[in-house]
Structure 1
Amino acid sequence: MTTENVRTDSAPLTIAPVVSEPDDRVAYKITHPRTKNPGLLLDVNAIIKKSRAILETHFLPDEDSISHLNPLQRMVHSIRKIREKQSWTPVFIEKFNFIEMFYGWEVQMRDTATWLMHSDEFRGLPSHKRIAIFKIVWAVWRRFERYTMTAEIFGQRCLDEKIMLHSHEAAVRMDKYSIDYSEVSDHGFERFNNVFGGKMMQYYEIIVRPYLELRLSDTEITYILCQIIWNYAGRRLQGQTQAAADRFLDSISNDLHEYYEELGRGRGSEEEGGDSKNYASRLAKMMQIVNQMLNVQLELENTIQVAFLFDMFNIVFTEPEFFRN
């Protein structure tokens, strides 16, 4: 690839690819426009192109097989399909570099896009609205899905040992791993961890502990995830998105009620936990998880730590909003 000039942050950058393969051109060496130090341009567009393709089509490969399912059941079906890729004996890793983590996000972005597209309300929105929602919710989706999947695999160990699934193949213990930021920052892992480590640890109390106490079923996990995503997107984007969120959440609330009634009649699936006798109590505890997750996101929106993070990186993102949520 020949050297080319691009304009980022209103300054010309001379860039050279870090990776030579055409499909993998994500990281480029640059002179940072603000610090004038060596840095990287991370091309978010390159890493989300597969997700964007999913979001810009109305075609679902499994449409015929799920046409009889109600909206909540469709979302449950989707998350189960996504989790079929998950290894139940993941390898524990203790160190990886930032660029490897960046590449790993691509898979999680595609999972998020695929899951979102199983909602008719989401698919009914214009393409630019779907992409706008995806940009602000993928990281929230990833956090909740990964912590609940970790709890599903490791049970109480997840809470006791602070285990977290990094990907479908790998896991980390939060107090026994580090990220090598040397390619993108002069600051070491400890400084980043001091700023953000506590944020990650709080999810064990917000997500993992109630998951284990309630023994949440796939349907309940999916219901919570839908509530988090659509409430967050509706609040951030308002208008057409808020209207779609209201319709979808009303619909799945009725579906959840029907789910509990089926369990009460003894017609639920064996793999579905749930507890129809304590429906109101369980729902209240589930909504507590939703509200706590939304409160954390609000804190992240208002914190100066996000700006602090970007100042610590010698990185220019082509679309930094992907990593501010």
Structure 2
Amino acid sequence: MRRADSLRLVTLMVLGAALVVVFLVALGLGPIHVPVEGTAASLARLVTGRSVGTGTDGLIGAVRLPRVLVAVLVGAALGVAGAAMQTIFHNPLAEPGITGVSSGAALVAVLLIVTGLAKQPWMLPIGAFFGAMLVVTLIQAIGLGSAGVSSAPLLLVGIALNAFLGAVISAVIVNAKQAEQARSALFWLNGDLTGRTMADVRIAVLPILAGIAGVLWNVRELNLLGLGDATAQTAGLDVRRAKLRIIAAAALATAGGVAITGIIAFVGLAVPHLVRLLWGDDHRFVVPASALMAAIFLVVADTCARMMFSPVVLQTGTVTALVGAPFLLFLVLRRARSER
């Protein structure tokens, strides 16, 4: 094994260990503080089926564990999807929602909330997931019908879908019959992990893991695409089909996350770009490192959202935007300077 590969493997192991530490600390933090050793003991009892279901075990198992698990899953999904999208579109400002997947989920979710059909706990995430997948199907159909290999048509399709679906969402919210329904819809659109349950984890885990696996399976193709479409095609890669395959996998992971948390911005934008700045562009490392770093980032952001201004609780999407927006500004200014 080459020295560079060894260093990257060690880095991934360190990131994995950091995620475990952050995971345990986040489970223990709250109005009722639980030490790390107490948290680990409760988890051990939950895994072995010896949990008493009350006290610390009930707090960890029923309230905090689902929320932190969702943060890990959704963070990893957004990180991997962002890494893939930035390479597909050859744009460091690309992020998972650029294809319109998040807007597709949002439209169905808002419709369910405003019409009162979201009262069933499983209805909202499942409806949002299918809304996202309808957009994926539409993008695939448009992409497969295109003769070219350029990313521009797919990027324009995503921008157009986002604009159109955003307008419909605004119209639905403005015409909501009850103010509480409009407020709930706006709350969902900003992204939050409050009230997540193990049922949400079960809904999200399969599409997220399948999407991440799909992107990981195509890291060689991503490395070729990173060299440019023309170079990748010269190397024998079917660029159009490779792009659509990777977009579908990234969109699946995004859909699984957005369906249960709402739209959480900037995670998929900031983290993959930071990974590239620190460790280069080899997607054999960029993809798993983005998954781990984004999971850590979202767990920390969610913990800050519920603890930083206690008893006032911020939405998770608010915290990620407060961190991500300045980073986006930094990227834009950095790119402007490099093009002078």
Greater fraction of residues in helix: 2
TM normalised by structure 2 equals 0.28
Higher strand share: 1
TM-score normalised over the length of structure 1: 0.29
